[in-house]
Amino acid sequence: MSLDKEMQELLVNYTIESAELLQVMEEGLMELESIEESEETINAIFRAAHTIKGGAGIFGFEHIVGFTHVVESVLDAMRDGLLKVDSELVAALLPCCDHLGILVREIAKGHTEENSDLTKQSEKIIAGLQPFLDNAEGKQTDSSQVASQSIQVQDETHRVQNIECDNSKSGNWHLFLHFNPDCLRDGMDPLSFILYLTKLGEIIELTTSTQALPSAGEMDPESNYLIFEIVFKSDAEKADIENVFDFVRAGSQIHILPLESKIEYYIDLIDSLESDDMQLGELLIKCGVITRRELEEGLQAQQAKRERQQSQHIGDILIEQQTVQKPIVSAALEKQQRVKESKAIENQSIRVDAGRLDILIDLIGELVIAGASASLRASQTGDMALQEANAAVISLVEEVRDSALQLRMVPIGSTFSRFQRVVRDVSKELGKDIKLHISGADTEIDKSVVEKIGDPLMHLVRNAMDHGIEPAQLRIERDKPAQGNLQLNAYHSSGNIVIEVSDDGRGLDRDKILAKAVERGLIQVGETLSDQEVYSLIFEPGFSTADQISNLSGRGVGMDVVKRNITELRGDIAIDSTPGKGTTLRIYLPLTLAIIDGFLVGVGESSYVIPLDRVVECVALPPNENHDYMELRGEVLPFIRLRQLFNKKATLSKRQNVIVVEHLGVKAGLVVDKLKGELQTVIKPLGKLFGHVQGVGGSTILGSGEVALIIDVPTLLRQQEFASNTH
């Protein structure tokens, strides 16, 4: 692979990744606006911006680097708490996300050079951020002064308990110095070390312990018996303090421990370290809580213990040796664990070209068909062992198929969360206060469905906001809370996924819709329609009851497109509305576009598959039924004779059956010759040539190798209605 090509691939990855990161940023910002600020969210936004900048740097997109850098500075100030997170700040940052998106998309299109229009826009947006930056800088100088004054000491270790502690004079290090008894003989005076220490900082407290002093008779005046405990205040690193005692190291016990305030500092430092998977010791050294020498001693001790068959964690040894306190070690261990976990998660997800998945699923579809064919042949032989072996293969194939389909399932949450932004922007535009509630975000749905559901959902959401939810004034008059509520919900229901868009607005106006429909000649005056039928009129092309056409909706284009898009996905849409209370639109979608559970029937010589989720029941056709309806438990059931519709000439079977199907609450019967049972089957699209055929939704290959057509109940019923209307 040439370098250019390699770069090209990297670039594609970069643009994809950036798009995802921008999504993260946007979601984060929306979250910041709605909930009180959370450090984790700000960090996530910052990381996203940082990664985009880093990537741009690799490719040399200076304009992106420059722009992101400014954004990053603002985020950094937010992270440090210098900037208060409010809607104003979020409003300033959201356009940055959008603009970055534009910049990245330009690059994806191959325009790697910056163009002057975009540069101007970048400058404009940056100018919008400038006040925030200035503000942050002002605060920074203030806060650093405050910080230096407010260090507090709370002694924790028992050694320092007896030290009187004065809050105004407090230290951040605790030094335990037990010099080598021979140090005076070696020409080292402990005092000189302690004096030297003052060059690094201030000694707040010094306690001299004389416990080790023997009785006068035994005392060797040339030996050192004194132990010093010092509360020391210094900004120096631990290693620097340790260096002071380099010369007396041998034979001495010297422990340098951070005090409470310092502990917090270290814990924060450990948390903020961007580390790869590293050893605990390395982690502690990196943030300066221990020195390399201390670590080595600890490791030696660990080694020694291991030789004595005692294993001990390095962290515990370090605590035992009093080089570090427990909270720091725990923090470091936690950090290590997190790094490991996130690594594990990274390893678990692989980015795969969707095309390859499609090929896999296609192949598995073939396997299902081939398997069905094999088991059919096996059952014809009457060889029990062969049939059993085949059954085992089939059940495995089914498992493989299910898990392959799982590969394509993605949670609908990411689609939903995009609407946070939409709702925010649109409600501002409309001057309404609308809150979006999301539930069922982890409901999984086929990726190809997710991709196609975005636009229809967008329409429904905008519609609900524009037409459904009343202006605040009107809401208050109607005793409703001023804030409108919009809910997106998703859940699984008997083989379907249901997506609900509901609002607590004014509801659909039945009379207005009827009047409009009469005006447009869709229905006759005086026709009686059920609520459901009336509501479904709004899906007619060009239908709008809005008195005013707005930017958003009211032109009457849209709902019919929504309906068509959903129908294309083999889905359905139903409306539930209570005047004055609100409207709920329910979109029913199949779980996957690739495979359906079907009911196999025979008409004449041919086989047809009726999607099982449409089938309510099967009943026998009453003999000598001459008209096209029958009685089903006291109700009239109209039916379609498939034999006639499909023009089958083969001889009538003695006993005909009626499959009762349901669509949008309307029941109808399909008269068939034979009932052949349930099957799970792979849908094969029929292609463009058959695109217009009403009532046939696709085809499938049966175990026998025969092609069976899949009956599309909604279009079949609609076609029949249409035909009877025109007669």
Partner 1 sequence: MTEIATTTERKPVVKNTQTLAKAGQYLTFMLNGEVYALGILNIKEIIAYGELTEVPMMPDFVRGVINLRGSVVPVIDLMARFGKGMTPIAKRSGIVIVETENGGEGSHDIGIIVDAVNEVIDIAQQEIEPPPNFGIGIRPDFINGMAKSNGRFIILLNGNRVLSVDEMAALSEAGETRPLDIE
- Rounded Cα gap, residues 137 and 82, in angstroms: 8
Encoded one letter per residue, x for contact with partner 1 by CB under 8 A and - for no contact, window 496-535 reads ----------------------------------------
- Rounded Cα gap, residues 92 and 164, in angstroms: 51
Beta carbon of residue 372, minimum distance to partner 1 (angstroms, whole number): 12
Interacting stretch for partner 1, rule CB under 8 A, among 197-205, 271-279, 364-372, 629-637?
Answer: 364-372
Q: How many CA atoms lie within 13 A of 142 on its CB side?
A: 9
Beta carbon of residue 595, minimum distance to partner 1 (angstroms, whole number): 14
- Supply φ then ψ for residue 504, to 5 degrees: -110, 45
Beta carbon of residue 699, minimum distance to partner 1 (angstroms, whole number): 5
Of 369 and 713, the one with the shorter C-beta distance to partner 1 is: 369
Contact 57, 47 (CB under 8 A): no
Strand, coil or helix: what is 570?
coil
Which residues, listed in sequence order, are joined to residue 620 by a DSSP beta bridge? 657
Interacting stretch for partner 1, rule CB under 8 A, among 89-97, 275-283, 442-450, 678-686?
Answer: 678-686
**Given the DSSP bridges, would you call strands 635-641 and 666-672 parallel, antiparallel or unpaired?**
parallel
Burial class from Cβ neighbours inside 10 Å (0-12, 13-18, 19+) for residue 505 reads buried
Contact 55, 14 (CB under 8 A): yes
Beta carbon of residue 617, minimum distance to partner 1 (angstroms, whole number): 25
Of 22 and 711, the one with the shorter C-beta distance to partner 1 is: 711
Residue type, 425: D
Among residues 314, 165, 146, 303, which one has the least CA distance to residue 229? Answer: 165
Q: Total number of residues binding partner 1 (CB under 8 A)?
A: 30
Of 456 and 611, the one with the shorter C-beta distance to partner 1 is: 611
Beta carbon of residue 693, minimum distance to partner 1 (angstroms, whole number): 5
Beta carbon of residue 360, minimum distance to partner 1 (angstroms, whole number): 14
First and final CA of the chain: distance in angstroms? 66
Task: Write out the binding residues for partner 1, residues 680-709 only, by CB under 8 A.
Answer: 684-696, 699, 701, 705-709
Q: What are the CA-CA distances from residue 708 to residues 372, 610, 642, 684, 703 (Å)?
A: 14, 10, 14, 10, 10
Q: What are the CA-CA distances from residue 59 to residues 4, 19, 97 (Å)?
A: 12, 16, 20
Task: Write out the binding residues for partner 1, residues 163-202 only, by CB under 8 A.
Answer: none
Q: What are the CA-CA distances from residue 680 to residues 79, 235, 596, 702 (Å)?
A: 54, 72, 6, 10
| Angle (CA) 462 464 465, round 5° | 65
Beta carbon of residue 625, minimum distance to partner 1 (angstroms, whole number): 22
Of 634 and 691, the one with the shorter C-beta distance to partner 1 is: 691
Among 365, 371, 505, 602, indicate the residue that binds partner 1 (CB under 8 A): 365
Beta carbon of residue 655, minimum distance to partner 1 (angstroms, whole number): 23
Of 97 and 701, the one with the shorter C-beta distance to partner 1 is: 701
Per the structure block, which two tokens stand in for 189?
Answer: 């005076």
Residue type, 326: K
DSSP 216: T
Beta carbon of residue 688, minimum distance to partner 1 (angstroms, whole number): 5
Which residues, listed in sequence order, are joined to residue 674 by a DSSP beta bridge? 602
714 is a contact residue toward partner 1 (CB under 8 A): no
Burial class from Cβ neighbours inside 10 Å (0-12, 13-18, 19+) for residue 276 reads exposed
Strand, coil or helix: what is 699?
strand
Among 186, 366, 527, 568, indicate the residue that binds partner 1 (CB under 8 A): 366
Of 629 and 690, the one with the shorter C-beta distance to partner 1 is: 690
Beta carbon of residue 369, minimum distance to partner 1 (angstroms, whole number): 6
Of 28 and 365, the one with the shorter C-beta distance to partner 1 is: 365
Of 303 and 726, the one with the shorter C-beta distance to partner 1 is: 726
Beta carbon of residue 346, minimum distance to partner 1 (angstroms, whole number): 37
- Rounded Cα gap, residues 566 and 589, in angstroms: 8
Beta carbon of residue 709, minimum distance to partner 1 (angstroms, whole number): 7
606 is a contact residue toward partner 1 (CB under 8 A): yes
Q: How many CA atoms lie within 13 A of 75 on its CB side?
A: 26
Of 531 and 721, the one with the shorter C-beta distance to partner 1 is: 721
Task: Write out the binding residues for partner 1, residues 627-666 only, by CB under 8 A.
Answer: 645-647
Which residues, listed in sequence order, are joined to residue 333 by a DSSP beta bridge? none
Q: Compute the chain's Rg from CA coordinates.
A: 37
410 is a contact residue toward partner 1 (CB under 8 A): no
Beta carbon of residue 389, minimum distance to partner 1 (angstroms, whole number): 23
- Rounded Cα gap, residues 450 and 571, in angstroms: 13
Beta carbon of residue 270, minimum distance to partner 1 (angstroms, whole number): 56
Of 308 and 688, the one with the shorter C-beta distance to partner 1 is: 688
Of 53 and 401, the one with the shorter C-beta distance to partner 1 is: 401
Beta carbon of residue 715, minimum distance to partner 1 (angstroms, whole number): 11
Taking 3-state DSSP, the helix, strand and coil percentages for the chain, each rounded to the nearest 5, stand at: 50, 20, 30
Residues recorded for the chain: 727
273 is a contact residue toward partner 1 (CB under 8 A): no
Of 138 and 705, the one with the shorter C-beta distance to partner 1 is: 705
Of 131 and 705, the one with the shorter C-beta distance to partner 1 is: 705
Interacting stretch for partner 1, rule CB under 8 A, among 328-336, 350-358, 365-373, 444-452?
Answer: 365-373
Of 157 and 606, the one with the shorter C-beta distance to partner 1 is: 606
- Rounded Cα gap, residues 469 and 478, in angstroms: 12
Of 600 and 701, the one with the shorter C-beta distance to partner 1 is: 701
Among residues 434, 371, 374, which one has the least CA distance to residue 400? Answer: 371
Among 64, 126, 369, 498, indicate the residue that binds partner 1 (CB under 8 A): 369
- Rounded Cα gap, residues 274 and 47, in angstroms: 11
Encoded one letter per residue, x for contact with partner 1 by CB under 8 A and - for no contact, window 64-103 reads ----------------------------------------
Of 402 and 706, the one with the shorter C-beta distance to partner 1 is: 706
Q: How many CB atoms lie within 10 A of CB 703?
A: 18
Beta carbon of residue 371, minimum distance to partner 1 (angstroms, whole number): 12
- Rounded Cα gap, residues 667 and 635, in angstroms: 10
Residue type, 8: Q
Residue ranges in contact with partner 1 by CB under 8 A: 365-366, 369-370, 606, 645-647, 684-696, 699, 701, 705-709, 726-727
